[in-house]
Amino acid sequence: MVALRDFLLPKASIVTPNIYEAEIFGGLDINDINDMQLAAEKIYNLGVKTVLVKGGALKNNFRGADVWFDGERFEILRTATIETNNTHGTGCTLSAAIVANLAQGKDLFSAVKLAKDYVTNALKYALKIGHGQGPVAHFFPLLLNI
């Protein structure tokens, strides 16, 4: 954990901790948007360039709201909340989609917003496969012919 915090995080262009990870790195309990902002600021102060605290695990009307902080501004990113049990892989999918958008020449904030929209649609069109928590639908654009 110390090596991650001291050596890896400061080299990243962006980190995308979920609520539980943000609680650990921020050293606080997160229950709402204000707590997410405080955690984002604390994580930023570890030497991170940009923080996106993901709120998928929050309760009530905060669920799914993410907090962006780049040292200058906070942004609350919201999309529709999708009710599904098929959420396996959302964090990895978000990170991969951010990188894909950056590779296409998008600026970081735009890359994050587009990635969040992509994950929301991947949740919306997730297929129930097998038993238990299924994966998000990474290939939903093929299913919809878009």
**pLDDT at 146 exceeding the cut of 70:** no
Please state the rounded mean pLDDT for residues 41-67: 90
Q: Which domain holds residue 96?
A: 2-144
Confidence of residue 108 (pLDDT cuts 50, 70, 90): very high
- The residue that leads in pLDDT, 139 or 42, is 42
Residue 30: count of CB within 10 angstroms of its CB:
23
CATH code for the domain in which residue 99 is found: 3.40.1190.20
Q: Do 46 and 25 meet the contact criterion of CB atoms below 8 Å apart?
A: yes
Instruction: Write down the pLDDT at residue 98.
Output: 98
**What torsion, rounded to 10 degrees, do the Cα atoms 59, 60, 63, 69 define?**
-90
Which tens digits make up the pLDDT trace of 63-104? Answer: 889 999 999 999 999 988 888 888 888 999 999 999 999 999
- The residue that leads in pLDDT, 1 or 33, is 33
Q: Which two tokens mark 135? A: 């994966």
- Phi, psi at 131, each rounded to 5°: -115, 150
Look at the chain and report how many structural domains it folds into. 1
Instruction: Write down the pLDDT at residue 100.
Output: 97
* Length of the chain (residues): 146
**Its pTM surpasses 0.95:** no
Which tens digits make up the pLDDT trace of 15-47? Answer: 999 999 999 999 999 999 999 999 999 999 999
Provide the annotated active-site residues: 54, 87, 89-92
